[in-house]
Amino acid sequence: MDDTVARRLDELGIVLPAPFGPVGEYDAAARVGDLLFLSGTGPVRADGGLVTGKVGADLDVDEAREAARLTGLQILANLADQLGSLDRVVRVVKLCGMVNTAPGFLHAPAVIDGCSQLLVDVLGPAGRGARSAIGVAELPFDIAVEIEAIVQIAEVP
């Protein structure tokens, strides 16, 4: 199979991290037909630490957008782990982005754009799908962002 996405990652200078596995009794992904449902994941820094805090209090929009980008890297790492090759991604169908917000923070869509832009940069038009972006009062481990994805995948030829 052609490694088009791997070449694009190289061109962008992106090295995918190791996927951060489940922290409870659930699977990282579940497949139904040609859809792969990825469990929610969060922002993992290069040193392995999590980006934590309330957006609008502890983190500003730019810092939170970078956290969403790091979360997008986890989504890509999980996809690569599940599929063997990111070239099997037909398209991102839907992202659901949750932002750990301070009261009154109203810019969750701008934060989740960090993930959406990364997916388009890496996957091209296939990286653009439907999306929700919501602010929530709490996220597990106080992570700044959690994003789950539904992705259409191709069969292995």
By percentage, how much of the chain surpasses pLDDT 70? 98
Q: From CA 61, how far away is CA 102, in angstroms rounded?
A: 12
Interval 62-70 mean pLDDT = 98
Angle at 119 between CA 113 and CA 123, to 5 degrees: 150
CB 138 within 8 A of CB 98: no
Query: Which residue in 2, 14, 1 sits closest to 119, CA to CA?
Result: 14
Q: How confident is the model at residue 1 (pLDDT cuts 50, 70, 90)?
A: very low
Superfamily of domain 4-15+26-153: RutC-like (3.30.1330.40)
pLDDT in tens, 83-97: 999 999 999 999 999
Per residue in 12-47, pLDDT (tens digit) is 999 999 999 898 999 999 999 999 999 999 999 999
- The residue extents of the domains of the chain are 4-15+26-153
Q: Strands across the sheet with 35-41, in order?
A: 29-32, 35-41, 145-153, 89-100, 130-136
Residue 100 has pLDDT above 90, yes or no: yes
